[in-house]
Amino acid sequence: MNVLSWLLIAAALLLLVPVLLFAFQILVAFPGRKPGKLPAGRRPRIAVLVPAHDEALGITATVNNIREQLHADDRLVVVADNCSDDTAALATAAGAEVIVRQDTSRRGKGYALDFGVRHLSAAAPEAVVIVDADCRLEAGALEYLSRIGLESGRPVQALYLMHAPPHAGLKTRIAAFAWMVKNLLRPLAYHRLGLPCQLMGTGMYFPWAMISQAQLASGHIVEDMKLGVDLARAGTPPLFCPDAVVSSVFPSTGEGVQSQRTRWEHGHLGMILADTPKMLASALLRADMRLAAMALDLCVPPLALLLLSMLGLTAVTGLFALIGGGSLAFAIAFAGTVLLGVSVLLAWLRCGRDIVSFSDLARAPLYALSKIPLYLRFLVSRQVDWVRSRRDGS
């Protein structure tokens, strides 16, 4: 075999790794689950921290939703961060404790969280729960997060779901299904195996001693994922709690959806390149299975990109095999593509039938093709600065 043949085989084997992990996670998560048992004992005294930038349209509903689950000695603090609207006044009127931050040179959720944690330090709670300003807590979410967090002594991540708005188009519904796979099935599989999960940005519980020492003040575009990696390296990887549910809704505008996807996916790909090699090396040196599992999970790229990569490699290796260049790379790529397709179908059977129809699912490759410009921009003009996703009506 020539050099090109070996390169194609290496590429096929490299892509097969995230496909195999993805398939394994779907299989482990496929059986239905029963609600977990709420740990006995007391609930720690918590502060719910809500970073909010120009959230006047929804902050009142968010504050009212959170207050329903607070105990008498809990606190709800809204950080009105670089706002140009009535976010602070509306949050105050709804009953939240509000602090205002104005620093246009340091923009981003991480800076807002750091500002909020430093404010809390004057009368520190036992734990902090972070909830985004556009999210809603389902019943019992704070009880599960707080009691499991107190019992484990670890950061705890709620199940964070994004729903498609009514009458959403195919792209948004496919995105909602992919989100369900990423935020429910994959972390659920690791949870069943006693392994950690990635942080998802909202519905996050932290013991005070941990969050007060965390490096939060950054403009990193996926500051939540970065924080989870840092905590895992420190020996306290996040724990998934599927019984605590936090939900939001995708923007109905094309601009809002596009800005969200660009930030999330460029940030994730940047983390794969920058952090995964170091995490794997550290895990091997320390023989840390939890850190290794988290690094491998981070290696699984966005589902659309993984599908595009497998289809593209199968086409290239198939053409190479036709002209007599060898068939091993094609066999590996084709097998990986089939395995990925079967895994997606199983995931759809498990949690996607209420989101997309089978005919919609069959058009998923077209959705993946529509995201090629997003991935090309990662190569030539990567988004590195934090930008707030545009909400409906803003």
Is residue 143, in this structure, part of any structural domain at all? no
Q: What is the pLDDT of residue 354?
A: 94
Q: Which residues of the chain have pLDDT under 70?
A: 1, 253-260, 383-394
Q: What would the pLDDT profile of 192-249 be if each residue is shown by its tens digit?
A: 999 999 999 999 999 999 999 998 987 777 888 889 999 999 999 999 999 999 999 9
Is residue 220, in this structure, part of any structural domain at all? no
Q: What is the pLDDT of residue 148?
A: 96
Is residue 127, in this structure, part of any structural domain at all? no
Q: Which tokens go with 386? A: 């934090």
Is residue 15, in this structure, part of any structural domain at all? yes
Domain with 317 in it: 3-31+300-380
Provide the 3-class DSSP secondary structure of residue 100: strand
Q: Which tokens go with 326? A: 């060898």
**Residue 230 burial class via C-beta count within 10 angstroms: exposed 0-12, middle 13-18, buried 19 and up:** middle
Nearest to 277 by CA among 261, 258, 290, 296: 296
| Model confidence, pTM | 0.92
- The whole-angstrom separation of Cα 280 and Cα 389 is 32
Nearest to 246 by CA among 197, 187, 201, 288: 201
Is residue 9, in this structure, part of any structural domain at all? yes
Is residue 221, in this structure, part of any structural domain at all? no
CA-based angle 21:25:31, to the nearest 5?
155
- The CA–CA distances, whole Å, from 252 to 56, 59, 170, 190, 333 equal 18, 18, 12, 32, 36
Count of Cβ atoms closer than 10 Å to residue 4 Cβ: 12
Our count of domains for the chain comes to 1
